[in-house]
Structure 1
Amino acid sequence: MKHLILALTTLLSVSFTSQASNTAAGKTILARGDVLATDASSAQQRTLKRRDTVFGVDRITTGEKSKAQFSMSDGGLIALKENSELNIANYEFDNATQQGSASIELIKGGLRSISGVIKKNGGSYNVKTPVGSIGIRGTHFELQLVEGDMYVAVWDGAIDLTLDDQSVVSLGSNEPFSFAQVTALGDVIKTTQAPAVFTQTFAPIDDDNNAEQQPEQQSLAQNNTSENTTDADTSIADVYAEQQFQAVSNASLIDQIAERQGVFNYQATSFDVSSSLGEVSDFTMSMSVDFDNGTVPDGEISFNDAGGNWYAAYSGLIDLTKLDLAITFASHNNNKATGEIDAVFLNDIDTITGDFSLEEISNPAINAGGDFRLEP
């Protein structure tokens, strides 16, 4: 009898452990390159792709030139940069009560996060790092680990970083500083401008845009975190946030997509594109979306670099709130190319945002890619 009770206890323990490990923490909304999830309880690894579930015991890693984005169970968003490692120690959310708690750990690399309902409703949301623990008082922040130092940016709201010596560094809203560098020795350097590791370049497109205007616009984008922010700077920062977090309110978008009729033609209104051969010019992109049939009949991308003209044609389907796209033809000058493209609707389906990558088939070292925003 004792042996039977012991066996049942062991079985129940295994069952509960398995059930805990199967608690969904979120969904993968973008996985580019090498993105792996390792189950902490079983050590089993799996390659993550779009729409795959991530669980409350997963350790997620991204490789070289890889990135991933996740829509968490409470509506929060997490984007992992290349060569990063994130441990989801705990992520629990009850849809019925709208309550929960979360604890994640950035082990290396970088992440950007927008917190969801857990924090909004007063739940515990903690981010551990090699230099200390972060308590979230706001919504939108970014971390980057570089050679033992950690760089912090608070784009919206505020955070409290408790260092190993128990001192607290507060950044963001109602604080004098929104950016900081914490060295491996625990020294804190606060700044009013974003550290260079967070610098991004965006070129908004106007009707009269030309190649001569772009360097000035890009310089403006790189300085959009200064204290004297202009309206133009704000729009560029908004594009950055949208491109980094390709996630939406699914229920609302499904209704909007179902109600829309006809064919809409989208054009690029902003972009961030780079090439292995240097400067990019004359970027254009279009996408035709047929809401009646749920298809993307055709789309095109074109731009120039030092090696000649890049061109790609693509098509696809509307998959709920996302777009499943495939490049059907690509070339660079006279050389055949291949590539990938990902895109989603934003909360207003008059906006599509995403990214693409292209490379020559015979010489993959020659490549190009970037992010885009499209509007009718």
Structure 2
Amino acid sequence: MSTFKGMAAAGLWVALTLTGLPAMAASGTALGVNPQAEADTAGQSRVLTVGADIFIGDKVSTGAKGQVQIKFSDKTELVVGPNSSLLIEDYLLREDQSAGKLAINALSGTFRFATGGAPKDRYVIKTPTGTIGVRGTAFDFNVDAEGTEVLLFHGAVRLCNLAGTCVTLDDTCEIGTYDLTQSTILGDPADLTKDQRAALKANFKYAEVQSPLLRQFWVENARQCFNKGFVNDTPRSLMDGDDDTPVVEQPCGDNGCCGDSNCCGEDDSECAN
């Protein structure tokens, strides 16, 4: 059995080498994992667990109850939500010490992304219908074959479809979308219809409830986006990539609960008797 495992590992190394990818160069770590999450590299699948390394070339996929929270070595944070899939195409520093980009191909599903300490032009996010140009920021996005929706928390992103039509989001809680025909800024959630708001809430589940995430993957005041609408004029410090905004701790205990019988998510308004 040990001989077979050794041959499989050697085969994976050869496969990565032949495809031009650095052999088993870890680029990130899974800090939080829910069941039904796995990574596939060159046809070799493995179940992800807390502490698992994430490599260039990994296709990370989750099931209906799956979720993966990844921290990269430059402090970039990426959440892969339920029923989601993405490919890690490149990373900032390859095993041979050559410079790359943090390039991911978000195939489908729900995600959260917050940049780390690398220059803004080193982040690349592709989707089936276009690209998200990152400018030092934090945002949630939802991807399917028809298009991509983005909810910006701070900083700025440029959304471009495959036809080259682009729009820029630079206001807190601003929402944009693109598909094969157009790129559009939807703007203030408060101006949307009830049905539109309900659909967006379903797609941006982490903006409504952050409790499924580790605290370091929370975004301060994310819930204000659907509760109060968006806020104009993002501070210049955030536009320039202030990625270490402190999370304001809520009045709950270390275990996330507000006492023996009350348990909460982000604040006391979510506590239940």
Which TM-score tier does this pair reach, normalised by the shorter chain? 0.5 to 0.7
- Given that residues 33 and 65 in structure 1 are in contact (C-alpha distance below 8 angstroms), is that contact kept between their aligned partners in structure 2? yes
Q: Amino acid of the residue matched to residue 29 of structure 2?
A: K
Q: Structure 1 residue 130: deviation in Å?
A: 1.4
| 1:200 and 2:174 matched | no
Note closer, same or farther for the CA distance 1:190–1:268 as it changes in structure 2 (3 Å cut): same
Higher fraction of strand: 1
Q: For 2:87 and 2:16, how far apart are their aligned partners in 1?
A: 21
- Report the CA distance shift for 1:228/1:90 in structure 2 as closer, same or farther (over 3 A): closer
Matching residue of 1:284: 258
Matched, 1:83 2:68: no
Cα deviation, residue 103, structure 1: 0.8
Cα drift, residue 134 of structure 1: 1.6
**2: CA distance, partners of 1:146 / 1:157:** 24
Which residue number in structure 1 is paired with residue 153 of structure 2? Answer: 155
- Structure 1 position 110, deviation (Å): 1.2
Q: Show the counterpart of 1:133.
A: 131
Q: How big is each residue's C-alpha offset from its partner over 1:181-203, in whole Å with a ceiling of 9 and x where there is no partner? A: 33464352521238423250589
Aligned residues of 1:131 and 1:186 also touching (Cα < 8 A):
no
Matched letter for residue 134 of structure 2: I
Give the SS at the match of 2:65.
coil
1:144 offset after TM fit, Å? 0.7
In the superposition, relative to structure 1, how do residues 112 and 16 fare at CA in structure 2: closer, same or farther (>3 Å)?
closer
For 1:330, the equivalent position in structure 2 comes to none
SS in 2 for 1:57: coil
**What is the match of residue 106 of structure 1?**
106
**Conserved in 2, the CA contact under 8 Å of 1:270 and 1:373?**
no
C-alpha deviations, 1:38-86, integer Å up to 9, x for none? 00x3x10001111110001100001112211000121110011100001
Change (3 A) 1:373 1:76: farther
TM-score by length of structure 1 reads 0.49
Instruction: Find the counterpart in structure 2 of residue 233 from structure 1.
Output: none
- The counterpart of 2:253, out of the listed 260, 268, 271, is 268
The two structures, once aligned, show a CA RMSD in angstroms of 3.9
Equivalent runs, 1:175-324 vs 2, <5 Å:
178-183=174-179, 185-186=181-182, 188-193=184-189, 195-196=200-201, 197-198=203-204, 199-201=207-209, 222-227=226-231, 267-268=252-253, 284-285=258-259, 302-303=261-262
Separation in structure 1 between the aligned mates of residue 229 and residue 60 of structure 2, nearest angstrom: 30
Kindly tell me: are residues 54 and 29 of structure 1, through their superposed partners in 2, closer, same or farther at Cα, counting changes over 3 Å?
same
For the residues of structure 2 that align with 1:25 and 1:106, how far apart are their CA atoms?
Answer: 17
Name the TM-score, length of structure 2 as normaliser.
Answer: 0.66
Take 2:16 and 2:177, find their aligned partners in 1: how far apart are those partners? 42
Count, aligned residues: 217
> CA 1:136–1:222 in structure 2 vs 1: closer, same or farther (change >3 Å)?
closer
Secondary structure of 1:284 counterpart: coil
1:24 equivalent in structure 2: 26
Q: Confirm or deny: 8 A CA contact 1:74 1:93 kept in the other structure.
A: no
Contact 2:110–2:143 under 8 Å retained in 1: yes
**What's 1:34 paired with?**
36
Extract unaligned runs of 5+ from structure 2: 1-10, 190-196, 212-222, 234-245, 269-273
